[in-house]
Amino acid sequence: MPGKTCNVALLGTKFMGRAHSNAYLKVAKFFEPPVAPVMHTVAARNEAELRQFAARWGWKHCTTSWKEAVANPEVDLVDIVTPNNVHAEHAIGALEAGKHVACEKPLADTLAHARQMAEAAAKARGKTFVWYNYRRCPAIAFAHQLCREGRLGRIYQVRGCYLQDWAGPETPLMWRFQGEVAGSGALGDLCAHTIDTVRFITGDEVSEVIGAAMETVIRQRKILETSGGEISGRGAATSTRTGPSTVDDIVLFVARMGSGALATFEATRLATGYKNSNRLEIHGDKGAIRFNFERMNELDLYDATLPEKLQGWSTINVTNGNAQHPYAGAWWPVAHVLGYEHSFINQTADILTVLGGKEPVVPLPDFADAYKVQRVLHAVTESSRNRTPVKLSDIK
């Protein structure tokens, strides 16, 4: 057990509040982080919900004032899971208070907000982290390692789709459809993950958005009687009135990477049949990899350096601690498979490792990193709006 501790203040209590609380609860049971997390304070606006949440998860304190939480000198790390449009205010406040900050993705609702956050991070004493948690899906971390070892060779092509189907006409107007809160729809919610993952695995950056389409397919949605509502919201009571959805249900774009590789990106909430199919294919001259989150314990590898007659798509169950699959040693025996929540716990372990002055298993995204993703989101939006290619070098 670590001797040092890290007092955490969590801002927000919804879906991600739950995922993060679970991670803090479990991380030191499975990992040996140099610093142990203490679930110190949780902050949210709805006091009744807040108290219940704190009691359930074992947060020691709770407050309806995020500023109070951030100002508390006992707090070491501020973890932000609030809506995208308040990330900047919360994160900059925390950085200015000298805290380490972990922020949910995307970094912000707008490029301007994201830039302010990156600038604040550059000046701050605290470290920053962004919850691009798919980097810590073991299969993705392993793909990163394989690519770094040169097993894919020169990258020719990338194909990334993040496919969900929950946003049909019956889904009500929850905050995720409100542009002023969410910033964007499938783009920031889903595609941001894919963009970060591609950067992470290949070490390459999108250099140009060649063409893009962002589409609000369902333009009017039923208004929710009560605020809130998690991802599906289908069970929630809705009124007969409707209001405009102002975000993209579907985003598609074709891009060029800095290395010259070509890429297609797609994110959609209308891909009937796919519930959470975050999938990625990367083709290089020496090999290729393929991933689908719905089968997250598997990474498919095509090794083009094997004798030709033996070449095939190999499905590797990336849960083998003896084989040094990333994070596998902390968990269960081989093929006693992991789930969605484990990516958050793995990330928490790495954050604590970095706070303890050590190296994470694979690189963690910070605000500077996440700002690079945000520039791509902005370029996609510009390209779609203006119907022109957009070079990333033109986005500051």
135 part of the interface to a copy of itself, by CB under 8 A: no
- For the segment 361-390, give every residue that binds a copy of itself (CB under 8 A): 383, 387-389
38 part of the interface to a copy of itself, by CB under 8 A: no
The residue within the footprint of a copy of itself, chosen from 10, 301, 354, 379 (CB under 8 A), is 301
Site string for a copy of itself, 319-358 (x = CB under 8 A): xx-xxxx------xxxxxxxxxxx----------------
- For the segment 47-86, give every residue that binds a copy of itself (CB under 8 A): 55-57
DSSP for 40-101, please give it.
EEEE-S-HHHHHHHHHHHT-SEEES-HHHHHH-TT--EEEE-S-GGGHHHHHHHHHHTT-EE
303 part of the interface to a copy of itself, by CB under 8 A: yes
273 part of the interface to a copy of itself, by CB under 8 A: yes
254 part of the interface to a copy of itself, by CB under 8 A: yes
Whole-number Å distance between alpha carbons of 219 and 204? 36
Q: At what angle do helices 15-30 and 340-355 cross, to 10 degrees?
A: 60
Whole-number Å distance between alpha carbons of 102 and 81? 9
The residue within the footprint of a copy of itself, chosen from 64, 65, 220, 315 (CB under 8 A), is 315
15 part of the interface to a copy of itself, by CB under 8 A: yes
Near a copy of itself by CB under 8 A, which window of 25-33, 89-97, 104-112, 199-207? 25-33
393 part of the interface to a copy of itself, by CB under 8 A: no
204 part of the interface to a copy of itself, by CB under 8 A: no
4 part of the interface to a copy of itself, by CB under 8 A: no
Residue 298 to residues 77, 147, 157, 225, 291, Cα–Cα distance (Å):
33, 16, 21, 41, 7
Q: How far is the CB of 296 from a copy of itself (least distance, A)?
A: 6
Q: How far is the CB of 260 from a copy of itself (least distance, A)?
A: 8
Q: By CB under 8 A, how many residues form the interface with a copy of itself?
A: 99
157 part of the interface to a copy of itself, by CB under 8 A: yes
The residue within the footprint of a copy of itself, chosen from 3, 48, 125, 308 (CB under 8 A), is 308
CA dihedral of 321, 324, 328, 331, whole degrees rounded to 10:
40
CB 242 within 8 A of CB 250: no
258 part of the interface to a copy of itself, by CB under 8 A: no
> What is the b/e burial string over 94-125, where b = at least 16 CB atoms within 10 angstroms of the residue's CB?
bbebebbbbbbbbbbbbbebbbbbbebbeebe
The set of residues, in sequence order, having a beta carbon less than 8 Å from that of 277 and lying 6+ positions away, is: 161, 162, 163, 164, 271, 292, 293, 294
Structure tokens at 245: 């959805």
- For the segment 206-235, give every residue that binds a copy of itself (CB under 8 A): 210-213, 215, 217, 230-232, 234-235
Beta bridge partners of 193: none
